[in-house]
Amino acid sequence: MDIYKAICLDLDGTVYRGSEAIPEAIDFISSLQKNGIEPYFVTNNSSMTADQFSLKLSRMGIHTKNDRIMTSAIASANYCKEHFDGASVMMIGEQGLKDALTMEGFELTATQPDVVVVGIDRGITYKKLSEASLAIREGAHFIATNGDKAFPTERGLVPGNGSFIKLLETTTDKTAIYIGKPEPHMLHFIQQQGYRKEEMIMIGDNYDTDIQAGIRFGIDTIHVEGGVTNAKTVLKQLQQPTYLFENLNDWNKKGPQ
């Protein structure tokens, strides 16, 4: 465990499934914390605030600080701060994105924005999409918190933020700047807290987002079974994760000592 100082964990499918904790992940995180390592939690979910994620994790017995939670909303706000500081922002999204943008000092506007940032919005309307489309056509920068086309619910897969992004891209003939996994922006912002890439590792159940984010950023990765992508599918990929685990108990069996 001394090799890795920034252990980055996906949430849904890796630490928990919906509202149910994954026992091996809970044990793994507890072991890390006993050894003085506070992991990072990295999620494409832009709807919730860091406070809300901290509360959800605490109910599962995981206690962490807000600065260890990196959401696509927080990363989008950080990206805007780096590239468009002082800009006015039109937002489609929920509380997590609103809080992230306002905490970085952005003025939210419904008209003539410099930047349009789009995250998952379960109250989406034709009017919201129309206003965003018009603003992008008029020259506003176009930011997507993430490109997940669907996300799982108790009833099955429903439209994700990526579905609305594709609609806006089709309407505007503009391509969004994607922030969430598999893009490496969230890992970049974590690295800025003082890590070398060889000290970082990305752990997740989804090859196309979690593992690809780590590969693109140039850090080690662990694919964990039991989530979105099964091991058989992973083994067919041209780019392989550094480690392939059945569950996080394998860290002590296969992981670096």
- Record the tokens describing residue 42, joined without a space: 């990295």
C-alpha closest to that of 92 among 134, 55, 52: 134
12 known ligand binder? yes
Is 220 labeled as ligand-binding?
no
Six-digit token string for 91: 């937002």
The residues annotated as belonging to the active site are 10, 12
Separation between Cα atoms, residue 115 and residue 80, nearest integer Å: 8
114 is in an annotated binding site: no
Integer Cα distance of 119 and 97 in angstroms? 7
Compute the distance between CA of residue 182 and CA of residue 228 in angstroms, rounded to an integer: 14
Cα 72 to Cα 42: distance, rounded to the nearest angstrom:
8
Which residues are bridge partners to 220 per DSSP?
Answer: 201
Q: Could you report how far apart the first and last alpha carbons of the chain are, in Å?
A: 6
Flag whether 205 is marked binding.
yes
Q: 222 with 27: CB under 8 angstroms?
A: no
Compute CA distances 215 → 15, 179, 204, 207, 238, whole Å.
Answer: 20, 16, 12, 10, 12
Gap between the Cα atoms of 212 and 206, Å rounded: 9
User: Which residues are documented as binding site for Mg(2+)?
Assistant: 10, 12, 205
User: Which residues are documented as binding site?
Assistant: 10, 12, 181, 205
User: Which residues are documented as binding site for substrate?
Assistant: 181
